[in-house]
Amino acid sequence: MNTQTRIPAVEIHEDFRARARKALADPQLRKNFRTAMDSLMTKRAVAFSDADEREGLRTLGNAIKARALSKLPDLLEQLETNLTRNGVNVHWAETVDEANAIVLSIVEAHEAKQVIKGKSMVSEEMEMNDFLGERGIECLEADMGEYIVQLDHEKPSHIIMPAIHKNAKQVGALFHDKLGVDYTNDVDQLIQVGRKVLRQKFFEADIGVSGVNFAIAETGTLLLVENEGNGRMCTTVPPVHIAVTGIEKVVETLRDVVPLLSLLTRSSLGIPITTYVNMISGPRKADELDGPQEVHLVLLDNGRTQAFADSELRQTLNCIRCGACMNHCPVYTRIGGHAYGEVYPGPIGKIITPHMVGLKNVPDHPSASSLCGACGEVCPVKIPIPSLLRRLREENVKAPDSPHQVMRGQGSKYSPKERFIWNAWARLNSSPTLYRLFIFFATRLRNLTPSNVGPWTQNHSAPKPAARSLHDMAREHLAKQPGNK
Amino acid sequence: MSARENILNKLRNSLTGTTPIADTFDVDLVTKPWTYAPEERIAQLRKLMEAVHTEVHLSSERDWPELLGKLVSERQLPSLLIAPGTPHGRRVSEHWEVNPQLPPLKAYDRPIEEWKFELFDDTPASLTTTLGAIAATGSLIMWPTREEPRLMSLVPPVHFALLKASEIHDNFYEVQQKQNWATGMPTNALLVSGPSKTADIEQVLAYGAHGPKDLVVLILEDA
C-alpha cells in the first residue's frame, strides 16, 4: 500500500491530545472526513425538510426513551419473559469479560470454528473479534465497512460508517494487498469483491453474531436495521444466532419503534428507511425450513447502570446510535474517529465512554468540545449532550473527598492548586473592596504581566490589562454629566 | 448474586421513589404526514422504491404470470425458485407448462441444510409474495412462511415480489394496527425497501452488497 496515503495506526501509548494533533496534520484524513460529514449533514437536512414534523418526532422520540428508561428493569424482565417464551435464550452480563465468556461457551458447545458477524458496536465494546481470534476461532466482520477495517487491522472510525476515513483508492490498494485481486478504485467492483469473499463465509459459518437496534419488550422481538443484507445473512444462514446488545436498547411496545425507526434512519443516513428492517422473534419453528435452530441474546451492562443511577446522566442512555452527533461535530470532523482512542467516538463517545472505562482513563473526553451545541440540536432523542459534557467536566475536577460518588474515576483532573486559584478568583469578584484593590494594582502594574502564560500563549497573544479600568472611565464620564456635581 | 440480579437491583435502586412516565404517544405524529389518497399510493411507493433502484412493473391479476415469464426470459435467468404449493405458485406453474421455452422452476421444499450449496451456488432468481407494502417509506412487507422461507428473498441475486395494489398501506403504524402485529409476531418479519446496497466506501452507493442485486416488484393493480 502507498505509504503516503496510509492512515496512521493508532498507537496505544499515545494520549488523546497527541492523536488529535497527528490527525490534524493529516490532510488526506481531514479531507475524507470533511467530505463525508458535509454530505451526511446535507442528507439529514433534506430528509427532515419539515422542521415542525422533525421537532414533533424528536419530542416523541425523547418521550419514548424516557418512558422506557423510567421502567427499564420491568421492561427487561418482560423482554426476557417474552423472548424465552418464543424460544430465545437470554443471558445477562455485567462486564465485557462476562459477555465474552457467554459467547465463548456457546461457541464451544457447538464446537464452532467460524463466526460471521453483522455490524455491532456492543461487540466492539467486547472486542469480540480479538477475544475469539486468540482462541483460534475466526470472527469475521460481514458489513462492508467493518470488513475493510478488520482487513487493515483497524477499528471503526464512525459508528455507522466504519471505514469512512478511507477513500476508494485506499480500499483498492488494501484489497489488492490482502486479497490478491487486481487493483481498482471502482467502488462497484470493490463491493463485488467483498460480496464474493463474504458470501462464501456466510455459507460456511457455524455461528452468526449481530447487534440489536431495538429490543421490543411487548412482543419479545429483536429489530435490526441494515442496507447490505449481511445482517439478514448472519441472523438466518448459520445454525446459531447470537445477538449482543446494551440493556438500554429495550423499548416498551412495537408501536414505539415506528417513530424511533424513522428518526434513526433519517438522522444517520438521511434515508426514509433502510433497505432491510429485520424483526426476529425466535428461532426456526418445527415446520419452518430455514433460520437458526438456536437464538441467544446477551444483555450487557458495561457501565450503563452507572449512567442510569444519576437522573441527569441517565439521558445518555436515550441514544439510538444514529451517529448524527458526530456527523455535525466540528471537533470530530477535524480529528476523525480514531483520535478518540475508544469504541464510541464523537460527542456520544465523550458522554458514554467515561461510564464504560472510567473517567480517569478518558480524562480529556469531556473537554474535547467547543460546546457549540450542534450535537444536542441534531440528536433525534434530544440528549442534552453539551449539558452532559459540562456535568462530566464538573465530575472530572471533583475533590477526592467529595461525598457524592457519581462515577468511576471521577475527580481525576482535580488539582488543589487550580481549586485554590478559582476560589480566590471567586472571592475577588464577589468582594467590592478586594476587587477595587485588585483593579488598582492590575492597571498600574500592567507592564509586569508575563508574556508567556502556558498553553494560552501558544495560539493567542498574552492578556494585558488596560491602562484604565472601565469602572474608572465610567466614573469620570458620569462626573462630567451636567447635573452630576 | 447473578449478573441478572445485580443489574436489575442496581436499576431498581436507582429508580427508588420515582414513578414510571406515562405513555403520551401522539399517533398523529407518525400518521398525519404519511397519509395518502388511495390513487396516490402506488405512485408514492413507486417513487421511493425506484429511487433506490427497484424495478417496478404494473400488471394485473390475469396477466402477471405472462409478465413474469417475459422478465425471466429477458434476463436469461437459468431457473426460477417458486413456492409451487401456494395459489400464486400454481399460477406460475400453469403458465410455465404452456410455455416450455421458459427456464426450469425450482421449489424450496426441504430444510436449508439439505440444499444449502445449491441455494447459494445455483439459484439465480426467486419469486415470493408480500403481505403488502408501505407507501410512506417505499417498503414491501414480508412474513416468511414454510412455503416461502426466509432465505428465499435474500440469497438469490434476483428477487421478484408480487404486490396487490389493495394491500399498499400508508405508513408502518397503520400496518401494525390493521394487521395486528403486536398480538402475534412471526419468527421473522421483514420490511424490504429495495435491492441490497451499501455506501461504505466513500459514501458511493453500490447495489448488490450481500442480498439481491435486483428487486423486481410486480404490482397487481386490480388485486
Residue whose C-alpha is closest to residue B104's, from B123, B121, B85: B123
Let me know: does A149 contact B201? Beta carbons within 8 Å. Answer: no
Confidence of residue A14 (pLDDT cuts 50, 70, 90): low
Of residues A244 and A400, more confidence is placed in: A244
Q: What is the pLDDT of residue A484?
A: 61
In Å, how far is A319's CA from the nearest CA of chain B? 18
Lowest-pLDDT range, A84-98, A444-458, B128-142? A444-458
Confidence of residue A331 (pLDDT cuts 50, 70, 90): very high
Q: What are residue A299's DSSP bridge partners? A: A92, A245
**Which residue in chain A is spatially nearest to B15 when comparing CA positions?**
A70
Of residues A402 and A179, more confidence is placed in: A179
Confidence of residue A405 (pLDDT cuts 50, 70, 90): confident
What integer best gives the mean pLDDT of chain B?
Answer: 97
Q: What is the pLDDT of residue A429?
A: 95
In Å, how far is A92's CA from the nearest CA of chain B? 5
> In this complex, is the C-beta atom of B51 within 8 Å of any C-beta atom belonging to chain A?
no
In Å, how far is B59's CA from the nearest CA of chain A? 24
Mean pLDDT (whole number) for A218-240: 98
> In this complex, is the C-beta atom of B39 within 8 Å of any C-beta atom belonging to chain A?
no
pLDDT at A348 over 90: yes
> In this complex, is the C-beta atom of B143 within 8 Å of any C-beta atom belonging to chain A?
no
**Are the Cβ atoms of A275 and B192 closer than 8 angstroms?**
yes
Q: What is the pLDDT of residue A12?
A: 42
Mean pLDDT (whole number) for A101-122: 97
> In this complex, is the C-beta atom of B24 within 8 Å of any C-beta atom belonging to chain A?
yes
**Are the Cβ atoms of B25 and A218 closer than 8 angstroms?**
no
Q: What is the pLDDT of residue B99?
A: 97
Mean pLDDT (whole number) for B92-117: 97
pLDDT at A325 over 60: yes
**Are the Cβ atoms of B210 and A291 closer than 8 angstroms?**
no
Q: Which residues in chain B are contacts of A259 at CB distance < 8 A?
A: 29-30
Q: How many CB pairs below 8 Å do chains A and B form together?
A: 252
pLDDT at B82 over 90: yes
Confidence of residue A6 (pLDDT cuts 50, 70, 90): very low
**Are the Cβ atoms of B209 and A72 closer than 8 angstroms?**
no
**Are the Cβ atoms of A72 and B18 closer than 8 angstroms?**
no
pLDDT at A245 over 50: yes
Share of chain A above pLDDT 70, in %: 97
Q: What is the pLDDT of residue A404?
A: 85
Mean pLDDT (whole number) for A459-465: 89
Helix (H) or strand (E) holding A233: helix A230-236
Share of chain A above pLDDT 90, in %: 90
**Which residue in chain B is spatially nearest to A275 when comparing CA positions?**
B193
Confidence of residue A214 (pLDDT cuts 50, 70, 90): very high
Burial call B102-138: b when 16+ CB within 10 Å, e when fewer: bbebbebeeebeebbeebbeebbbbbbbbbbbbbbbb
pLDDT at A3 over 60: no
d(CA A327, CA A251): 25
Mean pLDDT (whole number) for A247-257: 98
Q: Which residues in chain B are contacts of A50 at CB distance < 8 A?
A: 33
> In this complex, is the C-beta atom of B4 within 8 Å of any C-beta atom belonging to chain A?
yes
**Which residue in chain A is spatially nearest to B211 when comparing CA positions?**
A229
In Å, how far is B104's CA from the nearest CA of chain A? 22
Q: What is the pLDDT of residue A481?
A: 86
In eight-state DSSP terms, residue A465 is: -
Let me know: does B143 contact B186? Beta carbons within 8 Å. Answer: yes
pLDDT at A306 over 50: yes
3-class DSSP assignment, residue A276? strand
pLDDT at B138 over 50: yes
**Are the Cβ atoms of A228 and B197 closer than 8 angstroms?**
yes
Mean pLDDT (whole number) for B69-74: 98
What integer best gives the mean pLDDT of chain A?
Answer: 94
pLDDT at A4 over 70: no
Give CA separation, A57 vs A278, A298, A436, A450, in Å: 22, 30, 53, 53
**Which residue in chain B is spatially nearest to A234 when comparing CA positions?**
B210
Q: What is the pLDDT of residue A2?
A: 40
Mean pLDDT (whole number) for B60-69: 98
Confidence of residue A456 (pLDDT cuts 50, 70, 90): confident
